[in-house]
A and B are shown apart, each in its own frame.
Chain A
């Protein structure tokens, strides 16, 4: 379909502004715009049709099943959209006086208390904008803490399992630390022997996702904790997979010092095509003085923002963080109350049911019950029939399912990482399982069906190599070269999802 710029016609517009009856104001000529930005010139009817057509070519959780592993694509309750759009929240300026924003402050304070209870750590900062910013914030807290203890110079390393999301090592580098990898053992747990050799006085901390990206709870968690505590290092819990354990197990109780939440995963902030998210962090008492400012505190029956934190690392984002995300997540948690436990139980039940239905047709690299997600390998299909996990993913589109995360975690060849979430009915899980089984049969009988998939989407497979080699990253008004397919359109067999 056409770009909005290709629909543009000089003289059309959608906007109208009130006349002020004021003379135009002067500004220095050298600061005035010399040529106008080529924004679209389009009427409102065409504007609405354009974005409606774009929506039609987009698949969301509202459209259908979206088992993108480690992304927790659950239903987004519409009551949350209603409450976040109340004018008292939506139109509230972040610098409004505290006496005129008590409702917002109370909501944030209440959410802090709730999050503290869920993970078993006392102090919460809501400020980080997403999980990866929560990671960076947590690592900066480690830096500040060890600098304060006089150990900042020697503790340079952060230990990360080989199953970790790429954000972990990326955050480590941004925080000025060095990432040290640790292997996974044959049961899918952290390899304790490897770990023991890598933790010492040089270690600042661990970053662990538990359940891991394999969808497995680490059975050696108590021993891991002992190793880090003996080394005087801190433990960071990546909350990407918190949806598996709410009300069942708390990272603070099993030794973690810092936890980040992904409000858009566990607590249903709609993913918005890529965001917004929310990445609050909860910490143990000894780290609280270093949290970002302002802190939201209660004094008697009123709430205020506290900037007087001499040891704070500073700010990681403007104001108090993504407030609208807090409203939705607070509403979501209040809809469940203590039954959040049932949310996690059903997430785990759904995942295990789907695993039970698929484990014979695809390879299961670690033969265990899973938590809220599981990882299969398409290695056998590749070996026996020459079809890849990418082909399986594309063929799933023909069955009107969003593919799972693929090629991640990196330690599983031809990985398919499947997270159904708790909100899906059994019928959907069965339909998806039926499709996956049918695709496994097709791989043997009609592999070209997979290799040429998808057949019914607005485009066929896209040439990702060309996009990267000859980047076209904005509409070129001046010239538009004729598009020619290269001889071999290529997709990268690289991580998609998580």
Chain B
């Protein structure tokens, strides 16, 4: 209760200035029939010390990635977050500002968003990025909305190798958007371009993931071409930290590039808050959802930044808006910008090479130990699927008993893979840890 600033004397003076006798009088506009008339049934207030103890106790009942060696990925990854990210995000000006509606008050924030947009455009090879979406699932739904209006078509095609949660969210939104969703099955871990071309007939867009949910590298340029052949917009869902070594979606002809930003700058945080990024080629600028910072000049001709192209947005265009998004994920996107700036182009490439080399080491060690890779012929980035010779859930249980979380049991999402684990190897893992993982899996 230390968050209020009025004294008793303040309250009396204020009531007098208003011209009422009590605080209750202020609420007379609420009809008596709709008042609660009893205290809220909530537990008593906690002091700050009690609160810290209570939440400490809850936190202690979670096994975080500091308490076991984690090979768990499947969309959220145990990458290193540099100290500068924490330090800068703790600045109260960033933390406690809101959407920069008044640009003269928020030049720093608007510049940071502009720099973030630039970083996302550079990573993806696109012309324009928004200031962030909610996460890697909702930006896929956003992309479908852009594609529907850009093409006038009402079908969207999703690769079966697209993260199952992303597909689920697209299907949920599709009910409102009036879109039919078609899925293209994988063939041995990746999508066949010819099959995709057929499915993409009359489709507004095609969304595929690179690297895909299994960690495999899709023939992304061929998939983009296949989508375009059918008149559908190719949309790549990409891992931002892979883009130091993997080709940018803009370079192979994608119309939009989207993805989950957590890998760049955000902690796992039990799934959020994180940010989703959405970037597009310039022809889609006026169909973009969300906030966008743009460069302009002030009355002295000095460079400055403002929220721009707002006639797309809900507060101006209302029912004709390109999206209803208002509050976004700016602080998390700022973390992404800081992380990417910390890495630089060289660091990003090294990070990618490290993931590639460590995961190849893990695949080789597992093959040597007699474990079977699910898709042995496919190139991968930092994640891959391996059969463990028994229900994968058992391997998870045994690994965790030994202090290692060995990965994600794929049987939950894909038929025929009950014995398969999806293993993620980030730059935080070491060859020793991989060796321990192999020992645990072999038993």
- B131 with A274: CB separation less than 8 A: yes
Chain B residue numbers with a CB within 8 Å of A95 are 72, 74, 76, 408
Whether the pair B64, A15 counts as a contact (CB closer than 8 A) is no
- A424 in contact (CB, < 8 A): yes
A489 vs B353: C-alpha distance when bound (angstroms): 49
Tell me whether A174 and B145 are in contact (CB under 8 A): yes
Interface residues as binary, B283-306 with A (CB distance below 8 Å gives 1, 0 otherwise):
001000001111111111111111
Indicate if A422 sits at the interface (CB-CB under 8 A).
yes
Query: Which residue from A100, A264, A348 sits with its C-beta under 8 Å from B62?
Result: A100
Q: Shortest CB–CB separation between residue B317 and chain A, in angstroms?
A: 7
Say yes or no: B272 contacts A322, CB within 8 Å. yes
Q: Is the CB of B74 within 8 A of A292?
A: no
Task: Check if A234 is an interface residue, CB within 8 A of chain B.
Answer: no
Interface string of A323-341 (1 = CB under 8 A from B): 1110100110111111111
A467–B295 touching, CB < 8 Å: yes
CB pair B427 A17 closer than 8 Å = yes
Q: Mark A123-157, 1 if CB is under 8 A from B, else 0.
A: 00000011111011001100110000000000000
Residues A173-217 near B (CB distance < 8 A): 173-176, 179, 216-217
Asked whether B212 is an interface residue with its Cβ less than 8 Å from the other chain, the reply is no
Distance of B326 from chain A, by nearest CB (Å): 5
**Total count of chain B residues near the partner, CB < 8 A:** 205
Q: A91 touches which one: B268, B314, B328 (CB < 8 A)?
A: B268
A1 and B111 within 8 A (CB): yes
Give the residue of B13, B14, B101 whose beta carbon is less than 8 angstroms from that of A496.
B101
Interface string of A294-312 (1 = CB under 8 A from B): 0000000000000000000
**Interface size class for chain A?**
35 or more
What CA separation (Å) do A471 and B307 show in the bound complex?
11
| Contact pick for B319, options A20, A63, A170, A495, CB 8 Å | A170
Residue B402 is within 8 A (CB to CB) of chain A in the complex: no
Do B342 and A273 have beta carbons less than 8 Å apart? Answer: no
Q: Is B108 an interface residue (CB 8 A)?
A: yes
Contact assessment for A54 and B326 in the assembled complex, using a CB-CB cutoff below 8 Å: no
Q: Which B residues from 302 to 335 make CB contacts under 8 A with A?
A: 302-306, 308-311, 313-321, 323-332, 334
- Is B177's beta carbon under 8 Å from chain A? yes
A47, A422, A468, A483: the one contacting B4 at CB < 8 Å is A422
A217 to B115 CA separation, bound complex (whole angstroms)? 42
Q: Does A34 contact B (CB under 8 A)?
A: yes
Q: Could you say which of A73-81, A381-389, A436-444 contacts chain B?
A: A73-81
Closest A-chain residue to B128, C-beta based? A473
Closest residue on chain B to residue A23 by CB atoms: B357
CB under 8 Å from chain B, chain A span 360-398: 368-369, 371, 393-394, 397
Closest Cβ of chain A: how far from B293's Cβ, in Å? Answer: 7
Give the segment of B49-57, B194-202, B227-235 that binds chain A. B49-57
Question: Is B443's beta carbon under 8 Å from chain A?
Answer: no
Give Cα distance in the complex from A339 to B271, angstroms: 31
- B353-378 interface bits toward A, Cβ cutoff 8 Å, 1 = contact, 0 = none: 11011111100000000000000000
* Residues of chain A lying within 8 A (CB to CB) of residue B313: 166
Q: Is A229 an interface residue (CB 8 A)?
A: no
- Asked whether A44 is an interface residue with its Cβ less than 8 Å from the other chain, the reply is yes
Measured CB to CB, the nearest residue on chain B to A393 is B102
**Which B residues touch A495, using CB under 8 A?**
315-316
| In contact, A118 and B40 (Cβ under 8 angstroms) | yes
Q: Contact check, B98 vs A55: say whether CB atoms are below 8 A apart.
A: no
A239 within 8 Å of B (CB atoms): no
Do A250 and B303 form a contact, CB below 8 Å, given A5-B115, A39-B122?
no
Contact with B along A278-296 (1 / 0, CB 8 A): 1000000000000010000
B182 adjacent to chain A (CB < 8 Å): no
Q: A55-B94, A253-B34, A457-B107 are in contact. List 6 more A-B contacts (CB 8 A).
A: A31-B220, A74-B3, A271-B96, A276-B329, A350-B14, A485-B301
Ordered by A's residue number, 20 sampled pairs between the chains whose C-beta atoms are within 8 Å are A87-B64, A88-B62, A103-B62, A167-B314, A176-B176, A247-B40, A274-B330, A276-B327, A292-B172, A314-B168, A318-B169, A323-B271, A327-B55, A335-B3, A393-B102, A402-B105, A460-B298, A462-B297, A473-B117, A473-B128
